[in-house]
Amino acid sequence: MDFKKLMMSKEYDFLRNNPRLGSRMILLGLGGSYAYGTNQESSDIDFRGVTLPLTSDLLGMTSFEQYEDAHTDTVIYSFNKIVKLLLV
C-alpha cells in the first residue's frame, strides 16, 4: 500500500487545506490494524497525527483538542491533548 500517494489524494485534501493542520502538523502516522501489523486485505486505513496550536489557542482566545474526519477515519490531536493522553 502506498500511504504517501493515498494521503495526496483528493479524499485527504483536508490535511493540506485546513488551517489547523497543513504545515502545522508535526506527526502523521498509521493507527489501527496497520499500526499493529494485524491488517487484512479488507482492513480500513486509520491515520493519526499531532498538530501545533495556533497563537490564539496559546493565549486562551480559542481552543482546539482534535480534528476528526469520519470518512477517512483520521484523527489529528492538538499537541496539548496528545501530551495529556501520553501522561495518563
CATH number at residue 59: 3.30.460.10
Q: How many domains does the chain have?
A: 1
In this structure, what C-alpha cell is assigned to residue 39?
491488517
Please give the chain's pLDDT, 88 residues, in tens.
Answer: 788 899 999 999 999 999 999 999 999 999 989 889 998 988 889 999 999 999 999 999 999 999 999 999 999 999 999 999 999 8
Scan for cell 497543513, then name that residue: 22
**Residue 78: CB atoms within 10 Å:** 21
Buried b (16+ CB within 10 A) or exposed e, 33-45: ebeeeebeeeeeb
pTM of the model: 0.88
Query: Grid coordinates standing for 7?
Result: 494521503
Domain that holds residue 66: 3-87
